[in-house]
Copies of this chain bind each other. A is one copy, B any other.
Amino acid sequence: MSDLLSVTRAMELVLGYAGTFGTETVDLEMAAGRVLQQTIRAERAQPPYDRVMMDGIAFRYGSDLPLLSHGTQRAGAPGQALPEGAACLDVMTGAVLPEGADTVVPVERLVRDGRMVRFEDGYEPRQGQFIHRRGSDCAAGTELLSGGRRLDGPALAVLAGNGHAQVSVSRIPSIGIVATGDELVDVGGPVRDWEIRRSNEYALTGALLSRGFNCIERSVVPDDLPLMMAALREQLSRHDVLILSGGVSMGAFDHVPRALSKLGVERVFHKVAQRPGKPLWFGVGPEGQRVFGLPGNPVSATTCGVRYVMPMLLAGQGLCRGKTHAVRLKAEAELIPTLTRFLPVRVGHDETGQAVAIPYPMPTSGDFSFLAATDGFVELPRGEGMAPRGTVALFHGW
């Protein structure tokens, strides 16, 4: 098996075809979780005016006390002028600092007698206090966001605060999930003794949705070459990416590679030195469609989906950071001499912030029942014997 493609090389080949799925403009309301594809600069200086930071009064530092309040500078109103002399204006948080004032005293420190205002005993304001100075956060035109990042809460706030009611983001590719396997029946119907319910499409859908890929069509094709070809031709015409599961092994009824080849999908590789997931197939269609043929076994399909399909899709969005980071194994784990091992694990952080992974070896790659107890898998390089407790490995989250 040493002539099989390595995981690293297979991933390089897949990422070489990641390309891009283009960009589109969406309303800010719909942009949460999308990947930004433009540079966002400050619309104005931030803050755009000398901004009062506390409810209280604004006055000219050094004025004689008491101060006479000449009214209120509300937030959302143009700045008033502070009259000469021992004067102040009541101010609200967020208001413009009145012209002529240079210091704010919060309401908790004030003692009032009608319109006359003084400070509580012993209180000494600092000149300039509680004023958020115009432009102190940034000048107009400062770069605030750059392309290739997910739009989380703070980024959405920056877009809103700088007047971007619409925003350019990576287009989400259209993805077809295609199940094969005549033993498979749907979740809703009856199931006979020799049949199994289809589940891979749900595992893949879950992985896709949790990464923001929500343009998904699911379909089923039979293990029959002409019927499969007709169905796959249709799917290829509708989607940027096809994710097939099943039918990529060596059997007489494993029609997937044959059908794809006849449809002009060029094989990039078939089989990778890994377990589970050795029969993985990857190719590129006549119009650049990326086509993955995942093994049909549920653990294999889910693992290959997370290890290959998701990174390719994320790279196609312009993102390099997925659900991946280093972890330390909490128990030893058996290595495979000739194959990279993908070992399901439960992960967490200990009380010092060290990421740790508890191995959950699955008895067979057909056993998905207990995969739901795990958070993802670690990638163990080929090797002899055991990887000891404490080994650092790369974790991939479901």
One of B33, B204, B354 near A209 (C-beta < 8 A) = B33
Which of A41-49, A259-267, A335-343 is near enough to bind chain B? Answer: A41-49
Contacts known (A78-B194, A92-B253, A154-B371); A392 close to B352, Cβ less than 8 A: yes
- With a cutoff of 8 Å between Cβ atoms, the chain B residues found around residue A223 in the complex are 74-76
Would you call B153 and A165 a contact (CB within 8 A)? no
Would you call B197 and A153 a contact (CB within 8 A)? no
Q: Give residues 97-139 of A contacting B (CB, 8 Å).
A: 106-108, 132, 136-138
Q: Is A2 an interface residue (CB 8 A)?
A: no
Nearest chain B residue, comparing its CB with the CB of A110? B250
Contact with B along A155-189 (1 / 0, CB 8 A): 11111111111000000000000000111100110
Would you call B210 and A191 a contact (CB within 8 A)? no
Would you call A372 and B197 a contact (CB within 8 A)? no
Q: Is A62 an interface residue (CB 8 A)?
A: no
Number of copies: 2
One of B157, B187, B252, B363 near A28 (C-beta < 8 A) = B187
Would you call A369 and B298 a contact (CB within 8 A)? no
Nearest chain B residue, comparing its CB with the CB of A36? B372
Which of A11-19, A50-58, A281-289 is near enough to bind chain B? Answer: A50-58
Q: Is A84 an interface residue (CB 8 A)?
A: no
One of B90, B191, B207 near A153 (C-beta < 8 A) = B207
Which of A235-243, A312-320, A325-333 is near enough to bind chain B? Answer: A325-333
Q: Is A351 an interface residue (CB 8 A)?
A: yes
Q: Give residues 24-75 of A contacting B (CB, 8 Å).
A: 28, 32-33, 42-44, 46-49, 51, 53-56, 72, 74-75
A side interface size, CB within 8 A: 118
Most buried by B among A76, A252, A297: A76
Q: Is A83 an interface residue (CB 8 A)?
A: no
Would you call B351 and A158 a contact (CB within 8 A)? no
- With a cutoff of 8 Å between Cβ atoms, the chain B residues found around residue A374 in the complex are 154
Q: How far is the CA of A200 from the CA of B164 in the complex (A)?
A: 14
Q: Is A93 an interface residue (CB 8 A)?
A: yes
Q: How far is the CA of A231 from the CA of B33 in the complex (A)?
A: 30
One of B137, B160, B249 near A367 (C-beta < 8 A) = B137
Would you call B157 and A366 a contact (CB within 8 A)? no
Least CB distance from A222 to B in Å reads 9
Would you call B194 and A77 a contact (CB within 8 A)? yes
Would you call B195 and A251 a contact (CB within 8 A)? no
Q: Is A322 an interface residue (CB 8 A)?
A: no
Q: How far is the CA of A76 from the CA of B163 in the complex (A)?
A: 58
Would you call A157 and B302 a contact (CB within 8 A)? yes
Q: How far is the CA of A328 from the CA of B327 in the complex (A)?
A: 15
Q: How far is the CA of A34 from the CA of B198 in the complex (A)?
A: 20
Nearest chain B residue, comparing its CB with the CB of A328? B353
Q: How far is the CA of A43 from the CA of B185 in the complex (A)?
A: 14
- With a cutoff of 8 Å between Cβ atoms, the chain B residues found around residue A253 in the complex are 55, 74-75, 92
Q: How far is the CA of A162 from the CA of B250 in the complex (A)?
A: 28
Q: Give residues 189-203 of A contacting B (CB, 8 Å).
A: 191-203
Contacts known (A48-B196, A355-B349); A203 close to B154, Cβ less than 8 A: yes
- With a cutoff of 8 Å between Cβ atoms, the chain B residues found around residue A192 in the complex are 78
A-B residue pairs, 7 tightest by C-beta = A55-B251, A153-B206, A76-B182, A76-B183, A75-B183, A157-B203, A325-B349
Seed contacts A78-B192, A152-B207, A160-B187; 7 additional CB < 8 Å A-B pairs: A55-B254, A77-B183, A96-B194, A152-B206, A153-B306, A156-B203, A164-B187
9 A-B contact pairs sorted by A residue (CB < 8 Å): A42-B369, A53-B366, A55-B254, A76-B223, A93-B297, A158-B372, A160-B187, A326-B351, A327-B353
